[in-house]
């Protein structure tokens, strides 16, 4: 069982930045693919960014490419999402998730086995 706890959400104006963090309980954290997802009210949960176990490969949804950066620290069992140039459309609950090994870098909610409780991001215009 893996427990994930997100933090770092908040309210910002358009054009601002936030950095989300997620800490995992698993001692085998370095073997998991990790991802960030988001869900806005009335919409389906969607993938934002994913990262390989080593951190050497990343993947982004088109809507956030060039603005968001996913990274991880396998010593600290931590996952990060740096969000720059935020837009009102980025407003959502953001979740981190873990995909058990063997894993692939696919931003499909059905592939991920463990989820955090979410952290709210609100971007005002």
Q: Express each pLDDT in 6-62 by its tens digit.
A: 999 999 999 999 999 999 998 789 999 999 999 999 999 999 999 999 999 999 999
Alpha-carbon radius of gyration of the chain = 13
For position 26, what pLDDT does the model report?
A: 80
119-124 and 10-13 as β-strands: parallel, antiparallel, unpaired?
parallel
What tens digit of pLDDT does each residue of 65-88 get? Answer: 999 999 999 999 999 999 999 999
**Is residue 33 within 8 Å of residue 25, measured between CB atoms?**
no
For position 3, what pLDDT does the model report?
A: 95
């Amino acid at each position: 069982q893996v427990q994930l706890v997100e933090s770092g959400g908040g309210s910002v104006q358009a054009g601002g930045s936030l950095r989300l963090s997620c800490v995992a309980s698993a001692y085998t954290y370095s073997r998991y693919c990790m991802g960030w997802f988001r869900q806005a009210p009335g919409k389906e949960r969607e993938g934002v960014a994913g990262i390989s176990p080593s951190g050497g490969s990343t993947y982004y949804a088109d809507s956030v490419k060039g603005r968001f950066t996913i990274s991880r620290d396998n010593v600290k069992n931590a996952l990060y999402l740096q969000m720059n140039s935020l837009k009102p459309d980025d407003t959502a609950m953001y979740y981190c998730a873990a995909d058990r090994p063997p894993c692939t870098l696919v931003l499909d909610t059905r592939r991920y086995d463990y989820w955090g409780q979410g952290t709210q991001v609100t971007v005002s215009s």
